[in-house]
Chains A and B, each alone.
Chain A
Amino acid sequence: MKILVPVKRVVDYNVKVRVKSDNTGVDIANVKMSMNPFDEIAVEEAVRLKEKGVATEIIAVSCGVTQCQETLRTAMAIGADRAILVETPADLELQPLAVAKLIKALIDKEQPGLVILGKQAIDDDANQTGQMLAALADLPQATFASKVELAGDKAKVTREVDGGLETLEVSLPAIITTDLRLNEPRYVTLPNIMKAKKKPLETVKPEDLGVDVSPRLKTLKVCEPPKRGAGIKVPDVATLVDKLKNEAKVI
């Protein structure tokens, strides 16, 4: 069984982004870029399924600029076998619906038994692509997964829901999106980074896949959130209780 793993190149989670002074977006020039953390968990899960002998091939996919090749090399260093970059122009804002359509086209071509992707990218915080992909491909979805077990042509997936956990059984092929606690991705070793450089990486264009990737949402402006002023330090618990009772009046 093939597993397709879409990965996104995003601003590293340690970077605190700044809004551009002209309010057109956030400044991502010269900041560290990494693989979206949830996608790293998705790659790790696919690699574990291959190590268990359930999966035969892992294909990493990224949609975006040329530099997404680095993200794909990271995915191959974790253990993906080959990669596909759907390359789009740097000035294009690629939105979740367009990405879902591109990956749907690749599903048609590659016929994977499973697609595993991150539940959310930490840049646009949209949390859409997996669900949209499932809709377009007319496949069952198991989002926010914290445990995945494959048996025959079915997957049993434990999902993180409000208040606890829920378990679903989906028939394969299916779309799974990862939550934080699904696994802890391995560290990438130098020999594996070297090996990843030799793995095949194919580049295609949206036109090749017959997909219109024009954005549907127009970003009118991007602003700083309202600043929360720092408050005061209190010397002891008694003062704290007094302030909460008599100043803030919240208890």
Chain B
Amino acid sequence: MTALVIAEHDNTSIKGATLNTVTAAAACGGDVHVLVAGHHAGAAAAAAAQIAGVAKVLHADGEGFAHGLAENITAQILTLAASYSHILLPATASGKNIGPRVAARLDVAQISEITKVESADTFERPIYAGNAIATVQSADAVKVITVRTTGFDAAAATGGSATVETVAAVAASAKTTYLGSEIAKSDRPELTAAKIIVSGGRALGSSEKFNEVMTPLADKLGAAIGASRAAVDAGYAANDLQVGQTGKIVAPQLYIAAGISGAIQHLAGMKDSKVIVAINKDPEAPIFSVADYGLEADLFTAVPELVKAL
């Protein structure tokens, strides 16, 4: 029994979500191999070999993998799938894009966003925005799984000494062409990997106010910035900052929600945070029901005061 983890990487380094996925793969009970499919991705493959608990790294290098297109990565995984009992991907935008495509081609179910491995064939996963936890058992020969990273600790990024084996890269599909990306450049920690997140809601009132109030707090704490769906819908914050059921699922050490009422869809994305602080002037706001520390106050005075006090 061997599990294959599909690494998420930028061709030079391994993304953090891969480390949590390795932990989930190890919990399935067998050896853990990692596939690094990339373009000029030798450095990423070398980094994957350092991850504690990884026995072997498979490195496929080809132009078609440069931007992680689902069609090409899937084709590569399918050439290797026969040797594995489990194929795991992080439940990131990339992993979610590829996993079901692999599962369907293998004619097996995918088990999405697992938060716990009970045994080699039984897993826990949240449904209905985390309002229920289902325990599901798969009878399929290969288990294709996406891993909710907040459910598993990160494996140590160093300390391992896996062998790196080069595998032949498949040809790229002609049906899909990568045209470009607009990735926001930021010195802040990534939302899903941040230790502290400060998140703003509709009460901020405008994108100028959102930046004016939330940015100093984030700077002071070295935090990532998040937002509620209402704030994103209103255009106060970028789409990829949305925390919630259909946005980012986060579980930082400290989550500060300012002017967020706490719809169930938002709570679904952050209620596993270690410490939750809610700042809201509405005493009835549902966010207070999950907050460790609630401050009933106007965020426009409380947040700057907090910045000053820190």
**Would A240 and B306 be within 8 Å (CB), given that A218-B136, A224-B132, A231-B294 are in contact?**
yes
Is the pair A167, B291 in contact by a Cβ cutoff of 8 Å? no
Cα distance A11–B129 in the bound complex, in angstroms: 12
The residues of B that contact A204 with a CB separation of less than 8 Å are none
Is the pair A220, B179 in contact by a Cβ cutoff of 8 Å? no
Within 8 A of B (CB), among A207-251: 216-225, 228, 230-234, 236-238, 240-241, 243-244, 248, 250-251
Smallest CB gap from B296: residue in A: A233
Is the pair B175, A170 in contact by a Cβ cutoff of 8 Å? yes
Q: Does residue B86 face the partner (Cβ distance < 8 Å to A)?
A: no
Within 8 A of B (CB), among A131-186: 131-136, 139-144, 146, 156, 159-171, 174, 179-181
Q: Does residue A22 face the partner (Cβ distance < 8 Å to B)?
A: no
Instruction: Kindly state the interface size class of chain B when it binds its partner.
Output: 35 or more
The residues of B that contact A130 with a CB separation of less than 8 Å are 100
Is the pair A126, B196 in contact by a Cβ cutoff of 8 Å? no
Cα distance A241–B217 in the bound complex, in angstroms: 13
The residues of B that contact A19 with a CB separation of less than 8 Å are 131-132
The residues of A that contact B97 with a CB separation of less than 8 Å are 131, 141, 143-144
Within 8 A of B (CB), among A79-121: 95-97, 100, 119-120
Q: How far is the CB of A34 from chain B (nearest CB, A)?
A: 14
Is the pair A250, B196 in contact by a Cβ cutoff of 8 Å? yes
The residues of B that contact A95 with a CB separation of less than 8 Å are 109
**Would A128 and B112 be within 8 Å (CB), given that A26-B128, A225-B132 are in contact?**
yes
Within 8 A of A (CB), among B270-292: 271, 274-277, 288-292
Is the pair B295, A164 in contact by a Cβ cutoff of 8 Å? no
Is the pair A140, B176 in contact by a Cβ cutoff of 8 Å? yes
Instruction: Kindly state the interface size class of chain A when it binds its partner.
Output: 35 or more
The residues of B that contact A131 with a CB separation of less than 8 Å are 70, 96-101, 104
Cα distance A112–B302 in the bound complex, in angstroms: 55
Q: How far is the CB of B308 from chain A (nearest CB, A)?
A: 8
Within 8 A of A (CB), among B203-262: 221, 229, 232-233, 238-240, 242, 245-246, 253-254
Is the pair A228, B290 in contact by a Cβ cutoff of 8 Å? yes
Majority SS of interface residues in chain A?
mixed
Is the pair B177, A181 in contact by a Cβ cutoff of 8 Å? no
Q: How far is the CB of A42 from chain B (nearest CB, A)?
A: 14
Is the pair B290, A230 in contact by a Cβ cutoff of 8 Å? yes
Is the pair A165, B182 in contact by a Cβ cutoff of 8 Å? yes
The residues of B that contact A139 with a CB separation of less than 8 Å are 175
Q: How far is the CB of A56 from chain B (nearest CB, A)?
A: 23
Which listed residue, B104, B130, B196, B229, touches A100 by the CB 8 Å rule? B104
Q: Does residue A194 face the partner (Cβ distance < 8 Å to B)?
A: no
With A168-B176, A240-B293 already in contact, 16 other A-B pairs whose C-beta atoms are closer than 8 Å = A16-B264, A17-B132, A97-B103, A127-B112, A139-B175, A161-B183, A165-B182, A171-B176, A174-B175, A218-B136, A221-B135, A222-B132, A225-B133, A230-B288, A237-B297, A237-B306
Residue pairs across A and B with Cβ atoms less than 8 A apart, 6 shown, are: A26-B128, A135-B104, A135-B105, A161-B181, A161-B183, A216-B139
Interface set of A (CB-CB < 8 Å, partner B): 11, 13, 16-17, 19, 26, 38, 95-97, 100, 119-120, 122-136, 139-144, 146, 156, 159-171, 174, 179-181, 216-225, 228, 230-234, 236-238, 240-241, 243-244, 248, 250-251
5 A-B pairs with the lowest CB-CB distances in the bound complex, closest first: A231-B292, A131-B100, A132-B104, A216-B109, A135-B104
